[in-house]
Amino acid sequence: DTEVTQTPKHLVMGMTNKKSLKCEQHMGHRAMYWYKQKAKKPPELMFVYSYEKLSINESVPSRFSPECPNSSLLNLHLHALQPEDSALYLCASSRGTDTQYFGPGTRLTVL
């Protein structure tokens, strides 16, 4: 089973709202990732958690706050987003530093 699940599928939020995206994997992978993908562009890495510790932060604005409660779960907390943050947010996981498996994504619209 190579499944990464993400909730919600769609999210619409105002610029003053606080919301969270959730990601789960049960493959025993020890690395989990958040990506942002704009239309007709490849995914852009935001954060990497390795063994539940934040190991890479690609200079993402502080209005995005990641959290890894345990080895199977990854959250992305959103606060005071801008309309240009509207995108497909993808979660991925990997056993090590090699192949990454992506979830279906959360389509976020910021009004």
Partner 1 sequence: QKEVEQDPGPLSVPEGAIVSLNCTYSNSAFQYFMWYRQYSRKGPELLMYTYSSGNKEDGRFTAQVDKSSKYISLFIRDSQPSDSATYLCAMSAGDYKLSFGAGTTVTVRA
Long-range contacts of 42-49 (CB under 8 A, 24+ apart): 43/90, 43/102, 46/76, 47/76, 49/74
Q: Least distance to partner 1 from the beta carbon of 73, Å?
A: 18
| Binding of partner 1 by 101 (CB under 8 A) | yes
Which residue of 21, 48, 74, 87 would you call a contact of partner 1, by CB under 8 A?
48
Report the length, in residues, of the chain. Answer: 111
Q: Which residues, numbered 1-40, are part of the site for partner 1 (CB under 8 A)? A: 2, 4, 6, 31, 33, 40
CB closer to partner 1 out of 40 and 70: 40
Q: In this structure, are strands 31-37 and 87-94 parallel, antiparallel, or unpaired? A: antiparallel
Binding residues for partner 1, rule: CB under 8 A, are: 2, 4, 6, 31, 33, 40-43, 45, 48, 50, 55-56, 88, 90, 94, 97-105, 107
